[in-house]
Amino acid sequence: MISEIPAMICSNLSVRSDGQLLFAGQDTAALAATYGTPLYLMDEDRIRERCHTYITAAAAAFDGKARILYASKAASFKRMYEIMREEGMCVDVVSPGEIATVRRADFPMECVYFHSSHKSDEDICYAMEQGVGYFVVDNTEELLALEQIAAEKELRQRILIRLTPGIDPHTYEAVATGKVDSKFGFAIETGQAEEVTRLALAQPHLELVGFHSHVGSQVFDSDVFLQMIDILMEYIAMIRDKYDYLPQQLDLGGGYGVRYLPTDPELDIAANLAQVGAYTKQKAAEWGVPMPEVLFEPGRSIVADAGLTLYTVSSLKRIPGYKNYVSVDGGMTDNPRFALYQAPYTVLAAGKLNEPATMTCSVVGRCCESGDIIQENVPMPESIKRGDLVACLTTGAYNYSMASNYNRVPRPPVVMLHGGAAYMAVQRETLEDITALDL
């Protein structure tokens, strides 16, 4: 018998009558016994479902003139790129390491967009040699380096220019990227965007195919996208009038939010894209601008709730009158987001969900660091003890990709769940891996 999880935040979570957490229909205790903990689990069916939703909704919203890029910094490993290839997605990358992983996955390089506010000459050379389709230009020095290297390689490189629209998305400060005071892109209101657009159009070895913008993350409605479209369409009309240039592509970035807590809203992706599509077409008509192909870059909203991390409890520490600590065998090495910016998570006693969670505690990690916290103020059953399983939900985005070897702790494996079966996508690191590069 299966019942609803007490804090239902995603449809791929359920609970057996004995209180055991199921993820993607599979027993988390059995998975932990097979693969060990800490353990990243990824629901492949959920990932594919989200890809399909984005592709279908964007095609409907933009009359077939849309392209969906997976923002792969959310979770970058070979199997993920294989799934994106199979689902007909494009991807964006931010480093040579991600490019190398894309190549290993046999991904079509003409569908790869290279972001990042830092691209060294070596990065640019490597990306061009690998056949990366598009560079998203973030600063003038990068633009000039691209022109020089493309000339040396006797090729014409396609680029987009990243524009900063000057919008505050009311998201976490750490992930707000659309304001004028940002390390990313060229501000429209200061005139820098126009200056670099003019410069890009003059480069013989660069083809300016469009503009890119991104306002931030954890956005639960389309208001900031509509504000961005107002600014971008006016900008495009101005550039057309002054320089006789119209973009083929307009990349609106990503940023749609996911549920980390039961109090977070549930996002209707199709409805939001339909709203953005209608508004974009309206504003293009008002400015007399032909509709470009519109790109979106979802990352978190494709993989976040497809992920779950399992831990084993090592100790319960009660400090009467003060605080309770549940210590687990992972922590900031596999999920640094609370330590970085107090990111919220739902944390559960994975094998005791039929017991009342009457004890409030801090779930903390194994590192010798007072800031090694997975989540504060977590309700847990009084019976929680060494050897029990703890699950941290919605960890598919920015957990594996941000993991580290702090305290020389090996990183967990990534196990994919698909059609009722499980398979390893990334192996667990070993102590030999940790010391392999030492001389």
Contact in structure between 38 and 60 (CB atoms under 8 Å): no
Residues 6 or more apart whose Cβ sits within 8 Å of residue 139: 117, 186
Contact in structure between 410 and 429 (CB atoms under 8 Å): yes
Helix (H, G, I), strand (E, B), or coil: what is residue 363? strand
Quick check: is 90 catalytic?
Answer: no
Q: How far apart are CA 301 and CA 305, in angstroms?
A: 8
Torsion of CA 386, 389, 394, 399, to 10 degrees: 60
Judged on CB neighbours under 10 Å (0-12, 13-18, 19+), 149 is middle
What are the backbone dihedrals phi and psi of residue 373, each rounded to the nearest 5 degrees, phi first? -130, 135
Give the residue carrying structure tokens 């002054």.
Answer: 242
Contact in structure between 63 and 436 (CB atoms under 8 Å): no
309: nearest Cα among 415, 386, 422:
415
Which contiguous run of DSSP H or E holds residue 127?
helix 121-129
Q: How far apart are CA 260 and CA 344, in angstroms?
A: 6
Helix (H, G, I), strand (E, B), or coil: what is residue 193? helix
Pick the catalytic residue: 10, 125, 367, 368?
A: 368
Residue type, 90: C
Span between the terminal Cα atoms of the chain, in Å: 55
Exposure b/e, 301-319, CB count within 10 A at least 16 = b: bbbbbbbbbbbbbeebeee
The residues annotated with a catalytic role in the active site are 368
